[in-house]
Amino acid sequence: MRKRAEPVALEHERRAVSGSPSAGSAASALDADCRLKQNLCLAGPGPAEPRCASDAGMKRALGRRKGLCFRLRKILLCVLGLYVAIPFLIKLCPAIQAKLIFLNFVRVPYFIDLKKPQDQGLNHTCNYYLHPEEGVTIGVWHTVPAVWWKNAQGKDQIWYEDALASSRPIILYLHGNAGTRGGDHRVELYKVLSSLGYHVVTFDYRGWGDSVGTPSERGMTYDALHVFDWIKARSGDNPVYIWGHSLGTGVATNLVRRLCERETPPDALILESPFTNIREEAKSHPFSVIYRYFPGFDWFFLDPITSSGIQFANDENVKHISCSLLILHAEDDPVVPFQLGRKLYSIAAPSRSFRDFKVQFIPFHSDLGYRHKYIYKSPELPRILREFLGKSEPAA
C-alpha cells in the first residue's frame, strides 16, 4: 500500500509544478477545505455558546464582589478613622465629655408639657418656678400625699406651699442625667412615695427640661441647696429626706455634705444606684467598653472630666456626712455597676461620721429585673422605707 501511495503523491506534485488545470482545481479545493475547517474552528461547536455566557456571568459576579469588597474596605477605614479621632476630639474639647455626662439635651419623653404634671397622671401635683441665682430658673414639681388628692384639685401654689407645714414628711428627689422631672420611671416613683404618705418635691437642674441655665456640678448642687432651703422655710419641724438617683446621688452627697458642714443636715439620705466617683463610673459605663483598653484611656477620657470641674465624689463626701444613709442597688444594673454601690457602702459604713447613725445597704437580686431605674417596682420598698426612715433619727 505504501509503494502504491508514493507514485500517486509524486504525480500530484508534477502536475502542480507543470501548472495543469487539474492541479489548479485541486489546489483550490484544498484551499476551500482549509478555509472551511478554519471557520469551523473559529465558530467552535454549538455547545460552547452557553459556556461563553457562563464565563461572562462569572466575570460580572467577580466584578461585583470586588466592588463590594472595596466599599466594605472603605467603610471599615472610615469607622477606624472615626474610632481613633474621637479620643483626640474629646481631649481637645472637654465640653463634649461634660455633655456626655449630663445628657441634659436628651429630653425623654418628648412632647410633654412640664407645666401640666396632671398629664402624667399626677393630679395632686403643682408646678413651680424658682430662681436660685440671677439668670437661672428651675422648674419644680410638688406632689402632696395621695390621700389629699381630692383636696388638691384646683388649688394654687400658695395652698401647696402651705401644705408643706403639715405633719407629713417630705422627700426631695434629685434625678439622674438625661430626661426631665417628667421621666416615666421618675413619675412612677413619685406615685409610690406619694401613696406612702410623703410629700415629693423634685426639680430639673439648670439646663434640663424647661429650666434655664448652663449645667455644671457646682450649679446643680446650688440648685439643690436652694430648693432644700425653700422647703425648710415652709415645712417647719417636719422631717426632710433627700433621695438621689444615679447621677443625682452625686448631687445628693454634695448637698448633704454642705448641709452637714453648716450643721443643718437632712433627716436621712437615700442613694439609689450610686457610684463611688465620676471617674470610676465613666470607666465602668457600658459606653466606655469600646475604649476601655484604648492606649491612654485615662488621659483621653477621664482627665477631661476632671478638667471640666466634674467630680461627684460620693466616696469622699460620705466621710463628711452625719445623717442616716440608705443605699439601694440592683445587682443587674447595667449603667452603674452593682460593685460600685457595694464599694461606696464599704467606705461609708466604717466612717466615724456615721458612728451615731444608721447605714444600710439593700441589694435587689438580678432575677427581679429592676436594673438601673425600676427599683420602685419592688413590693418590698414600702417596708424598707418604713423601717429605715422610722429609725432615721440619731441614736441616743
* Active site positions, annotated: 246, 333, 372
Judge contact between 202 and 141, C-beta under 8 A: yes
- CB-based burial, 286-317: b 16+ in 10 Å, e otherwise: eeeeebeeeeebeebbbbbbeebebbbbbbeb
Judge contact between 272 and 328, C-beta under 8 A: yes
What residues contact 279, with CB distance under 8 A and at least 6 apart?
302, 305, 306
Q: 180 by DSSP, 3-state: which?
A: coil
Q: What is the DSSP string of 324-390?
A: EEEEEEETT-SSS-HHHHHHHHHHHTT-GGGTTS-EEEEEE-GGG--TTT-GGG-TTHHHHHHHHHT
Q: What's 239's DSSP letter?
A: -
Q: What residue spans of 141-270 are helical by DSSP H?
A: 149-152, 157-163, 184-195, 217-235, 247-261
Rg of the chain on CA atoms, in Å: 40
Dist CA 391 CA 240 (whole Å):
14
Cα dist from 357 to 141, 250, 255, whole Å: 30, 20, 18
**CA count, 13 A, side-chain hemisphere, 127:** 19
Dist CA 362 CA 330 (whole Å):
9
C-alpha angle 191-170-160 in degrees, rounded to nearest 5: 80
How is residue 222 written as a grid cell? Answer: 446650688
Q: In what helix (H) or strand (E) does residue 93 lie, and over which residues does it extend?
A: none
How is residue 40 written as a grid cell? Answer: 469551523
Dist CA 201 CA 228 (whole Å):
9
Strand partners, 165: none
Judge contact between 216 and 136, C-beta under 8 A: no
Q: Is 329 exposed, middle or buried (0-12, 13-18, 19+ CB in 10 A)?
A: buried
